[in-house]
Structure 1
Amino acid sequence: MDDDQDLLQSLRVLLEAYDYRVVMAQNAAAAIDAVTNRAPDLVLTDIYMPDADGFELINALRQHDASVPVVAMSGGGRVGSYDNLSIATHLGASAVIDKPFSNASLIETIERVLASHRRDH
């Protein structure tokens, strides 16, 4: 999930081209609702969103279902002396990816996380 409409649509097209079924959410509340009503294979989230940040989403997801893999993406930023993606990893993100990223690196990250998740379960 991301707050940038163009990026959301680009991600949808890319992921569907790789035969992933995509459910989009415009904000953290909608993402939490989608996850509680479905059993997603993976959640892709941005750190910065309008109503709640990706940190809050990761925390909520971990409370709901700690087994759902999360890939967090961010264009940078820091909280104190920690970068956002390190914080996301600490909170339970399965993987992180810096924006901007290539389509190939995103797909590789998603496939790696899904493969690891399948092995662990």
Structure 2
Amino acid sequence: MTGLPDVEKPEATVLVVDDDPDLLQSLRVLLEAYDYTVIMAANAAAAIAAVSEQQPDLVLTDIYMPDADGFELINALRQHNLNVPVVAMSGGGRVGGYDNLSVATHLGAVAVIDKPFSNASLIETIERVLSGQKTDR
């Protein structure tokens, strides 16, 4: 007996993908406060490797990142049959006249969230996706 309290297994593992290190760290602190295990990746290539190796329960990805963006990440996950639910986040923008989060949904994201978002709305979105409910923006 160690004298330490029993620790429950985290609810789920979330891979957070964003090129902003400050946002990555903030999301890590938030998600860990809700007992999620957090994996972080700064780009799509690192995210694909993390999904293959660590098999997260959910991917939370930014859309606009250098090198490979969130659209490419969603496509790569689907092409490699890595069936992990994706939540796309973005601060706005358009692709070919369409809202980029609508494009992310069309490509396979199961939920989207506009930046800036509240902590509560992010946690609610993640919990809905992990419980198998599709979410609307």
TM-score (norm 2): 0.83
* In 1, Cα distance between equivalents of 2:78 and 2:129: 16
Aligned 8 A contact 1:47 1:55 in 2: yes
Shift of 1:65: 3.0
Q: Is the counterpart of residue 38 in structure 1 residue 49 in structure 2?
A: no
How do 1:16-95 and structure 2 match up within 5 A?
16-95=32-111
Larger strand proportion of the pair: 2
Larger helix proportion of the pair: 1
> Superposition RMSD on alpha carbons, in Å?
1.0
Q: 1:104 is matched with which residue?
A: 120
Which amino acid counterpart does residue 110 of structure 2 have in structure 1?
Answer: S
Which amino acid counterpart does residue 78 of structure 2 have in structure 1?
Answer: R
Matched residues, number: 117
Larger radius of gyration: 2
Shift of 1:64: 2.1
Of all paired residues, the percent bearing the same amino acid is: 84
* In 1, Cα distance between equivalents of 2:66 and 2:38: 21
Superposition misfits of 4+ residues, deviation over 4 angstroms: none
* In 2, Cα distance between equivalents of 1:44 and 1:2: 9
Shift of 1:51: 1.2
* In 2, Cα distance between equivalents of 1:3 and 1:37: 20
TM-score (norm 1): 0.93
